[in-house]
A and B are shown apart, each in its own frame.
Chain A
Amino acid sequence: EVQLVQSGPEVKKPGESLKISCKGSGFSFTNNWIAWVRQMPGKGLEWMGIINPGDSDTRYSPSFQGQVSISADRSISTAYLQWSSLKASDTAFYYCARREKYAYDYWGQGTLVTVSS
Chain B
Amino acid sequence: QTVVTQEPSFSVSPGGTVTLTCGLSSGSVSTSYYPSWYQQTPGQAPRTLIYTTNTRSSGVPDRFSGSILGNKAALTITGAQADDESDYYCVLYMGRGISVFGGGTKLTVL
Residues of A within 8 A of B (CB): 33, 35, 37, 44-47, 50, 57, 59, 61-63, 95, 97, 99-105, 107-110
Min CB distance, B58 to chain A, in Å?
9
Partner of B34, one of A37, A44, A63, A103: A103
Q: Determine chain B's interface SS by DSSP, over half rule.
A: strand
A44 touches B36 (CB 8 A): no
Q: What is the number of contacts between chain A and chain B, taking CB atoms within 8 Å?
A: 69
CA distance A111 to B62 in the complex (A): 31
B40 surroundings in chain A (CB, below 8 A): 45
Partner of A47, one of B51, B91, B104: B91
Interface size class of B (residues with CB under 8 A): 20 to 34
A101 surroundings in chain B (CB, below 8 A): 34, 51-52, 55
Residues of B within 8 A of A (CB): 1, 34, 36, 38, 40, 45-48, 51-52, 55, 57, 87, 89, 91, 93, 96-104
B48 touches A105 (CB 8 A): yes
B52 touches A104 (CB 8 A): no
B104 touches A44 (CB 8 A): yes
B97 touches A103 (CB 8 A): no
CA distance A33 to B99 in the complex (A): 12
A103 touches B98 (CB 8 A): no
Partner of B48, one of A46, A104, A109: A104
Additional A-B contacts beyond A45-B40, A104-B38 (6; CB < 8 A): A59-B97, A61-B98, A101-B34, A102-B34, A102-B99, A104-B46
Partner of A102, one of B36, B45, B57, B87: B36
B48 touches A102 (CB 8 A): no
